[in-house]
C-alpha cells in the first residue's frame, strides 16, 4: 500500500509539472520581456560562474595556507591582470599586424581560390558522367559548409560586439562570487530541504569530479596546442601564425572533429603560398595532433568522462545541429553532467 501511494504521488507530481510547463508555453508571448531580461543575464552570469568554478580551487589553496579570502582573490586578479598585460604588450602588436596583413591579402587569396575553383571545374567536366555528378555534389556540399562556417563566424563576431557591455561586468561578478563563496554556499545549504542535502552534496561532488576535471584539463590542452601550433607555424613560415594557432587551439576544445576543423585554414593558407609549404604544414599538424592525442590529452585530461566515443560523437552532432559552434563546445560537458544526473536519479529510485 505504501509503494502504491509513493507511485501515485510521483504520478501527480509529474502531471502537475507537465501542466505548469504547458501553461508557461502558452503564456510565453506575455513573458517575452522577462525572457529577454533573462537572456541578457545568462551570458555574463554563466561565464562568471564558470570562471569562478575554475579559479575557486586556487583560492581555496591560498585560503587554507592562512591567507584571507579577499586577499587571495585580489592577488589572483592582480596576477591575471599582469599576465594579460605582459602578453598583450608582447603579442598584441604582432597580432594587430597579422590582422591588418590578413585584411590586405585576403581579397587576393580569395581571387586565387576562385581561379583554382574554375580550374577544378574544368577538370571535373572532363570526368565520366557518374564521377562528374558525384564530384559536383561534393563540391556543392563543401561550398555550403564553407558559407555556413563564415555565417556562424560573422554572427559570433556581431554577438560579441553587442555583448561587450556584458563582458565588462564579468570580472566584478567573479570577484564577488569568489570572495563571498562561503556565504553563497551557506545560503544555498539553508534553502535546500534537509532531506535532500546529503544526496545533493554527493551529486555536486560527482559533477565536480567529472565536469571540473574535464574542463580544466581540456582548457590546458587547448592552451598547449595554441602555443605549439603558433611556434610551429612561425618556424616553417606560414603567414598569420598567431591567428591560425589561436584558431587551432580554440577548435581543440571540440573532441574528435575540432583538430581537423582547426587545421583547415592553416593548410589552405599554406598551399596558397606554395605546395612545399602546404605539405610541411600538413606534416606539422600531423605531429601536433599526435602529441595532443598521445601525450597531452592522456596525461592532462585522462579518462575523466568515462563515456563511449559513439556517445560523444552523437552529442557533438546534436550540439552542432541545435547550437552551431557553441553547441559543439558545450555538448560534451552537458552530456557528462547528464550522465551523472541519470545515475543519481536511478540510484534514488532504486533506493526507494
* pLDDT, tens only, 163-201: 667 777 888 888 888 888 778 778 877 777 777 777 777
Better-predicted residue by pLDDT, 6 or 72: 72
Cell 545515475, residue?
A: 343
Q: What percentage of the chain reaches a pLDDT higher than 70?
A: 65
Cβ(212)–Cβ(206) below 8 Å: no
Cβ(101)–Cβ(240) below 8 Å: yes
| Distance from chain centroid for Cα 15 | 36
Distances (CA, A) of 337 to 47, 54, 123, 340: 17, 16, 50, 5
Residue 153 confidence class, pLDDT cut points 50, 70, 90: low
Count of C-beta atoms within a 10 Å radius of residue 288: 23
Cβ(246)–Cβ(253) below 8 Å: no
Cβ(219)–Cβ(211) below 8 Å: no
Q: Count CA atoms closer than 13 A to 240's CA, side-chain side.
A: 23
Across the range 145-150, mean pLDDT stands at 62
> CB-based burial of residue 222 (10 Å sphere; 0-12 exposed, 13-18 middle, 19+ buried)?
buried
pLDDT at 159: 65
| Torsion angle of the four alpha carbons 303, 307, 308, 311, in this order, in degrees rounded to the nearest 10 | -140
Residue 112 confidence class, pLDDT cut points 50, 70, 90: low
- pTM assigned to the model: 0.66
Better-predicted residue by pLDDT, 190 or 114: 190
Cβ(316)–Cβ(254) below 8 Å: yes
Exposure string for 8-38, b = 16+ CB within 10 A, e = fewer: eeeeeeeeeeeeeeeeeeeeeeeeeeeeeee
Dist. CA 72–CA 178, nearest whole Å: 9
Cell of 111: 581571387
Residue 156 confidence class, pLDDT cut points 50, 70, 90: low
Cell of 5: 501511494
Across the range 260-286, mean pLDDT stands at 86
Q: Phi and psi (nearest 5°) for 312?
A: -65, -45
Cβ(263)–Cβ(286) below 8 Å: no
Cell of 52: 569562478
Better-predicted residue by pLDDT, 150 or 206: 206
Q: What is the DSSP letter of 30?
A: G
pLDDT at 162: 64
Model confidence at 51: pLDDT above 80: yes
Model confidence at 36: pLDDT above 80: no
- Per residue in 296-347, pLDDT tens? 777 666 555 666 677 777 877 787 777 666 777 777 788 878 887 787 777 7
Cell of 65: 595556507
| Distance from chain centroid for Cα 342 | 23
Amino acid at each position: 500500500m505504501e509503494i502504491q501511494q509513493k507511485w501515485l504521488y510521483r504520478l501527480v507530481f509529474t502531471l502537475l509539472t507537465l501542466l505548469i510547463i504547458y501553461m508557461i508555453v502558452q503564456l510565453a508571448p506575455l513573458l517575452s520581456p522577462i525572457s529577454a531580461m533573462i537572456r541578457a543575464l545568462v551570458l555574463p552570469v554563466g561565464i562568471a560562474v564558470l570562471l569562478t568554478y575554475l579559479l575557486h580551487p586556487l583560492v581555496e589553496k591560498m585560503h587554507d595556507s592562512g591567507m584571507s579570502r579577499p586577499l587571495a582573490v585580489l592577488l589572483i586578479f592582480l596576477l591575471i591582470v599582469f599576465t594579460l598585460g605582459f602578453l598583450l604588450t608582447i603579442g598584441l602588436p604582432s597580432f594587430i599586424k597579422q590582422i591588418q596583413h590578413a585584411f590586405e591579402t585576403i581579397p587576393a587569396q580569395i581571387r586565387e581560390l576562385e581561379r583554382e575553383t574554375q580550374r577544378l571545374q574544368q577538370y571535373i567536366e572532363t570526368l565520366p558522367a557518374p564521377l562528374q555528378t558525384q564530384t559536383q555534389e561534393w563540391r556543392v556540399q563543401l561550398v555550403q559548409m564553407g558559407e555556413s562556417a563564415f555565417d556562424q563566424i560573422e554572427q559570433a563576431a556581431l554577438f560579441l560586439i553587442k555583448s561587450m557591455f556584458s563582458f565588462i561586468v564579468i570580472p566584478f561578478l567573479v570577484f564577488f562570487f569568489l570572495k563571498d563563496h562561503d556565504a553563497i554556499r551557506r545560503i544555498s545549504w539553508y534553502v535546500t530541504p534537509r532531506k535532500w542535502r546529503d544526496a545533493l552534496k554527493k551529486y555536486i561532488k560527482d559533477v565536480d569530479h567529472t565536469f571540473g576535471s574535464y574542463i580544466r584539463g581540456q582548457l590546458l590542452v587547448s592552451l598547449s596546442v595554441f602555443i605549439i601550433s603558433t611556434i610551429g607555424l612561425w618556424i616553417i613560415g606560414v603567414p598569420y601564425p598567431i591567428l591560425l594557432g589561436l584558431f587551432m587551439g580554440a577548435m581543440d576544445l571540440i573532441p574528435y572533429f575540432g583538430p581537423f576543423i582547426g587545421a583547415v585554414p592553416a593548410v589552405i593558407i599554406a598551399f596558397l603560398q606554395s605546395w612545399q609549404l602546404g605539405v610541411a604544414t600538413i606534416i606539422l599538424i600531423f605531429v601536433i595532433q599526435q602529441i595532443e592525442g598521445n601525450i597531452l590529452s592522456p596525461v592532462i585530461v585522462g579518462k575523466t568522462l568515462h563515456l563511449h566515443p559513439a556517445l560523444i560523437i552523437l552529442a557533438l552532432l546534436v550540439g552542432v545541429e541545435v547550437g552551431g559552434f557553441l553547441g559543439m563546445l558545450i555538448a560534451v560537458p552537458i552530456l557528462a553532467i547528464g550522465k551523472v544526473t541519470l545515475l543519481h536519479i536511478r540510484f534514488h529510485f532504486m533506493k526507494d
